[in-house]
Structure 1
Amino acid sequence: MKPKLKNAIPVLAKLAADHAAREMSEHEAMPRKLGREDRRCWYLLTIERRRENTVSAHLIGRGIRVYVPEQPKWTPRGRTKQREPMFPGYAFARIDYENEWPRVRSRPGVIGVLKDAKTGLPIVVRESDLVRVTDIERAALDTRKRSSFAVGDRVRVRDGSPWSDLDGPIWRLAEKDRIVVLLHVLGRRVKVELPEREIEAI
């Protein structure tokens, strides 16, 4: 029987509710708090359904951190090893909204960004909300171990591997201490699953 993740869907609605309760000055001050060098914040993108992974791969390949929470895919016979987006039609992205949003929005499959209904401003997703989402995802997947890496981190393959010296962003944290990395091979981006011990942070 498929378990009910009671805390999953309300997280999205709570993002908007929490934002509406905050002072406008807090939203405007966010980029200044981060300083000039890094004005990036997390936002919730709306994506065409069934294109979440395609859009995410494109953005990650261009240096943008993207997080698509996943859960096990269920069939009438029960749980499978396949995964599906926990929030179909959504993806979290960490961007400098003022400078990076135009090129993110132009990506086929991107519909928009979650905005405050009253002000029309994009909602900044707090780190604490992302932590809650990752906790829900970890509970749903059940078999995933904690990793020192995160989706979007750039890593290099260590010596001794057939892929040694290649580097790229992490695409997905797989099971049993394995990580899927987007490597640039022969002019193409290739998803390669590697043991965590074979990669290192750049």
Structure 2
Amino acid sequence: MKEWYLLYCKRGEQQRAKQHLENQQVECFYPEIEVEKITRGKTTTKKEPLFPCYMFVRFDFNEGPSFTTVRSTRGVSDFIRFGGKPKVLQGDLIYSLKQLDKHEDSEVVEFSPEAGQKVGIKEGPFVGVDAIYKESDGEKRSILLITLINKKVEIKVDNSNLDY
């Protein structure tokens, strides 16, 4: 039976690891977010991993590939383990993360919290997570800071899904 596991990848090599794992029939997923970057004075939007260096993989180690084969794949460092064994993740978590990009709302909501203000999230995969408002991202969305896997991560959330 196929199970989801969490891998730690070498810095900047998630795409390489994904390519090599998919060649071994391992399902791979790492959520990405669009980030605005200023390069040489120009603002560009690029996609970056939501969890840098982490990737969710799904496979059946009884049918192959084995844990050792996956761990030895180019770009992969190791599994996230608890008690020496790779931790099996709930499929609901992965499904929720996959739905993250599918929530688009066409209505404009008046919104004006201050930077650093604590806000709640009413809907979506991060419902109930306490976040800190960072800045506006256009008319419909805001950038929030949340703590995931012991690291502060920026996420973009529709203003209609915020509770402040």
TM-score normalised by L of structure 2: 0.54
- For 1:108, the equivalent position in structure 2 comes to 74
The runs of 4+ residues in structure 1 deviating greater than 4 Å are none
Amino acid at match of 1:103: T
Question: Is the 8 Å Cα contact of residues 40 and 95 (structure 1) preserved in structure 2?
Answer: yes
How many Å separate the matches in 2 of 1:73 and 1:61?
A: 29
Identity %: 26
Secondary structure of 1:130's aligned partner:
helix
Residue 93 of structure 1 is matched in structure 2 by 57
User: Structure 1 CA distance, aligned partners of 2:53 and 2:92?
Assistant: 22
Which residue in 1 is equivalent to 2:96? 132
Listed as ranges, the matches of 1:11-90 within 5 Å are 39-76=1-38, 80=45, 82-90=46-54
Gaps of 5+ in 1: 1-38, 144-202
* TM-superposition CA deviations, 1:68-118 (whole Å, max 9, x none): 2111132146561x21111110111112245521111111221111112xx
Q: 1:78 to 1:125 in 2, by over 3 A?
A: farther
Alignment CA distance shift 1:48-1:78 (3 Å): same
Match 1:121 to one of 54, 64, 85: 85
Greater percentage in strand: 2
Deviations 1:49-75 (A, max 9, x none): 210011101111221111121111321
Cα distance in structure 2, aligned partners of 1:55 and 1:129: 21
What SS does the aligned partner of 1:59 have?
helix
More helix by share: 1
RMSD: 2.2
Alpha carbons of structure 1 residues 74 and 94: separation in structure 2 relative to 1, 3 Å: same
Matching residue's letter, 1:130: I
Give the distance between the partners of 2:15 and 2:3, measured in 1 at CA: 21
2-structure distance, mates of 1:87, 1:64 = 19
Q: Cα gap change, 1:58/1:75 in structure 2, threshold over 3 Å: closer, same or farther?
A: same
TM-score normalised by length of structure 1: 0.44
Aligned length: 100
- Is the contact between residue 31 and residue 97 of structure 2 (CA under 8 Å) also seen in structure 1? yes
Contact 1:95 1:101 in 2 (8 A): no
Question: Counterpart amino acid of 1:133?
Answer: L
